[in-house]
Amino acid sequence: MLYFKKLFLFILIVVVMIGNVDNSVAQNNKPNIQGKKPKIGLALSGGGALGYAHIGFLQAMKEYKFDVDVVSGTSMGSIIGVLYCAGYTPIEILDLVDKENMNKIINVIRLNSSFGRGFFNHEKLSKVLGKALPSNDFSCLNKKFYCCVTNFNKATYKFVGEGNYLKEYIIASASIPIVYEPKEVEGEMYVDGGVMQNLPVEPLLKEECDIIIGVDVISVPNQSEIKGLMNIFARSMALSISSNTESWAEKCNYVITPNLEKYTILDFEKAQELFDIGYEVGRVFFEDYKKQEAKSKKNK
């Protein structure tokens, strides 16, 4: 049994060892604001430890005094997003997850005593969120927030932004299949939202945001040669996820893709490095954004 646990875990790790080739900021659609204060939405993708780059991006956003009105998150993006919307500063978020050690929080090391429906349970993440969040209702947050979850039985996804199961839906959004048990919420079984929507743009469109910024920490790097069954399987999964992500990325006004080629979703011990990369790509983005904004005002 231990052999099969290790085999399945190895397969999953291979699947998610995906990075980006270059720091990139793509402007897809020029915002049409016409003098009004824009409603800004921020989408944070899933990505495990790669999500530390989200925190760095938020730090750059804070330093440039750039505010957003709506935040949506998937998987690790939902954990970081909900803490941000609860009022934590980026440095506080980094300190919180680093102090608690995300390896321990999500039980990456400790296997359950029996295989069950996943290798790991949600106990530690549940405790951390319980302490960090002021209440278990979405209304306790300072900003409008949505998290993406996948209904395991119905093979559908949904975005949740209200109700009194905040902690449970965040846990569900980060429940990677096989690695974690599906999370039961309100009588339904849910798994990681990234299975169907890794870049959670949809609720920002429904909120009619004037500007949508997507931060995607997972994509498929170019490979000249692919050998081995594991690599073929991993790339097939990655291409499927990337294809879905690309269709939603096109609906963003800006898409930020940090260069995380050297890292994997399990590199929690490299939190500061990932934070720094996210900060740098954020700094470049907001510096350019402010210049464009100033130029636009000057030309009016």
* Cα–Cα distance, 135 to 224 (Å, whole number): 50
For 47-87, the pLDDT digits (tens) are 888 899 999 999 999 999 999 999 999 999 999 999 999 99
Per-residue pLDDT at 9: 43
| Structure-model confidence comparison of residues 179 and 115, the more confident one | 179
205 in helix, strand or coil?
A: helix
- For the chain, the domains span 2-298
2-298: CATH class: alpha beta
User: Which tokens in the block code for residue 201?
Assistant: 């743009």
Q: What is the pLDDT of residues 259-297, one digit of tens each?
A: 988 887 777 889 999 999 999 999 999 999 999 888 877
User: In whole angstroms, what is the distance from residue 279 CA to residue 93 CA?
Assistant: 14
Separation between Cα atoms, residue 298 and residue 137, nearest integer Å: 44
What is the pTM (predicted TM-score) of this model? 0.83
Please report which helix (H) or strand (E) contains residue 2, including its range: helix 2-16
pLDDT > 70? residue 130: yes
Q: Residue 179 and residue 111: Cα distance in Å, rounded?
A: 9
d(C-alpha 215, C-alpha 235), whole Å: 21
Measure Cα distances from 38 to 35, 106, 232 in Å: 9, 37, 44
* Model confidence band, residue 100 (pLDDT cutoffs 50, 70, 90): low
CB 260 within 8 A of CB 56: no
Which residues make Cβ contacts (< 8 Å) with residue 165, sequence separation at least 6?
A: 136, 185, 186
pLDDT at 207: 97
Q: Specify which residues 226 forms β-bridges with.
A: none
Closest CA to 90 of 131, 64, 62, 66: 62
Q: Average pLDDT of the chain?
A: 81
pLDDT, one tens digit per residue, over 144-161 is 999 999 999 999 999 999
Please tell me the predicted confidence (pLDDT) of residue 16: 41
Structure tokens at 53: 């780059």
As a whole number of angstroms, the longest Cα–Cα distance in the chain is 69
For the record, the structure tokens of 97 come out as: 């997850």
Q: In this model, does residue 246 exceed pLDDT 50?
A: yes
The predicted-structure confidence for 21-37, as pLDDT tens digits, reads as follows 356 666 666 666 666 78
